[in-house]
Amino acid sequence: MARQFFVGGNFKMNGTIQSIKEIVQRLNDAKFDPNTEVVISPPSLYLLITREHLRSGIEVAAQNVFDKPNGAFTGEISVDQLKDSNITWTILGHSERRVILQETDQFIASKTKFALDGGIGVILCVGETLEQREAGKTNEVVLSQLKAVADQVKDWSKIVVAYEPVWAIGTGKVATTEQAQAVHAAIREWLSKELGGETAEKTRIIYGGSVSEKNCKELAKEKDIDGFLVGGASLKPAFVDILNAKQA
């Protein structure tokens, strides 16, 4: 069974009301394969206007969500608040949060469980630093990040795994197709062992890290690359070309 191609746009802490409305308009007008699932993730302040202006069929993701139902958690957003605003996905475990905000594997796993239990899909980011890659620890790091989630979550039907090597994020240094495919294959093999063949077969594993309109088509040809999580290029007109990476 073919897995549906999935492209996420992670705006990170970028954009204004004006620029986000322009991006939304471009996506509303864009032609892309209706079988490609598209999800964009603006900063939390702009989730609502994005949802209001974006056409149906394109989903909106938060960049984070908290693992408590409500209460005295200044600065956090709850799963119920996302659902109340028709936000159906969240990114979790992004390396910028792991590294800069020191989020642990356990905290990310707890938030993943909380989001899924509440009915929100999770784009779960994993990836190694350059130092870890050079020490030959890529698979070990990535699989232990996933294991923390698998210890708490058995149903992965609403998880999309995003492999994002930290050294390739925002650096213009994209992983080679071979490097990306090798890690994606290792993730799929691990999913099969840990959670069974069906989960491994169905789970989308997408690549992130300096994806552009220039490199996306080659990457999309790889057997275990089921889409992309795009940072910088998701803010530009080139994002539409990336949505069409698979057909071309």
Interface contacts to ligand 13P, rule CB under 6 A:
10, 94, 164, 169-170, 208-211, 229-233
DSSP letter, residue 176: P
**Which residue, 79 or 166, is less far from ligand 13P as judged by CB?**
166
Residue 88 Cβ, how far from ligand 13P at the closest point, in Å?
18
Q: Which residue, chain included where needed, has tokens 């840990």?
A: 194
Q: Compute and round to an integer the Cα radius of gyration of the chain.
A: 17
Asked if residue 68 lies in contact with residue 81, where contact means CB atoms within 8 angstroms, the answer is: no
Closest alpha carbon to 206 in 147, 124, 104:
124
Tokens of 189: 């093999």
Residue 94 Cβ, how far from ligand 13P at the closest point, in Å?
6
**Which residue, 227 or 231, is less far from ligand 13P as judged by CB?**
231
Asked if residue 92 lies in contact with residue 129, where contact means CB atoms within 8 angstroms, the answer is: no
**Which residue, 138 or 210, is less far from ligand 13P as judged by CB?**
210
Residues recognised as catalytic: 94, 164
Q: In sequence order, what are the beta bridge partners of 89?
A: 61, 121
Residue 208 Cβ, how far from ligand 13P at the closest point, in Å?
4
Q: CA-CA distance, 197 to 131, in Å (whole number)?
A: 32
Residue 197 Cβ, how far from ligand 13P at the closest point, in Å?
28
The amino acid present at 146, given as its one-letter code, is: L
**Which residue, 200 or 229, is less far from ligand 13P as judged by CB?**
229
The amino acid present at 77, given as its one-letter code, is: I
